[in-house]
A = this chain, B = another copy of it.
Amino acid sequence: MPRRSIKEERRTQILDAFEICVARYGVEGATLERVAEEAGLARPLIRHNVGNRDDLLDALLERYLESSERSMQELVAALPQDKRLETLIDWLFGPAMVDHREVLVSNALIAAAAERPKLARAMRDWTRAFIADIARVVAEARPEAEQDAVEAVAAGIAAAYLSVESMAPLGPMTDLRRTSKAAAQRLAGTLEG
């Protein structure tokens, strides 16, 4: 008898819009009004399908953690057989690394974590996992390298990538992208021989 539910579609539609707003305005600036407009839905539908503000943030966090882990795994899985580390750097600092939203979202979440212990824990884990993923590629590419060296190089590459992506609101900055990529390549080079 019931009408078929489209709650799941609506939910992802709303979370997409919320994610865009968080990336653009920050967690505090992502008002329900803006989210509703971005989603092309009436505001009460947000409440109906997801819940209140806290529910939105919880849902976004959960979805973001899963999706960014998945996309990183896919990225690593798509790496070729040889020159894996070099290719990873090429991809990370490529001109069209996704649409820049991913890192903007993580930045907004990190910034908002100051007053939200749960968020802080989650983003701490997220950061460590991201670096660890890079470290794995580095370790495979340079099997003889020491553990500490691998970790330092991975952290450096991750920092360069995150830093460049954080600047997206400032516009292209292709020079910074180029020099940051060069820095990553230099770091990788320190593990050779």
Contacts and interface: CB of A to CB of B under 8 A. Distances in A.
Question: Assembly of this chain: how many copies?
Answer: 2
A169 B120 contact: yes
Given A111-B26, A115-B24, A156 B183 contact: yes
Interface string A156-188: 101110111011011101001001101110110
Contact of A153 (B127, B155, B159, B186): B186
A183 B187 contact: yes
A113 B183 contact: no
Nearest to A169: B114
A53 interface: no
Number of chain A interface residues as a range: 35 or more
A119 to B, nearest CB: 9
Nearest to A114: B169
Nearest to A104: B111
Interface string A139-166: 0000000001101111110111011101
Nearest to A126: B170
A169 B24 contact: no
Contact of A170 (B113, B167, B169): B113
Contact of A176 (B107, B127, B190): B127
Contact of A163 (B120, B149, B163): B163
B160 A155 contact: yes
A180 B155 contact: yes
A59 interface: no
Interface in A123-142: 123-124, 127-128, 131
Nearest to A115: B24
Nearest to A121: B170
A29 interface: yes
A163 to B, nearest CB: 4
Contacts of A162: 159, 163, 166
A120 B179 contact: no
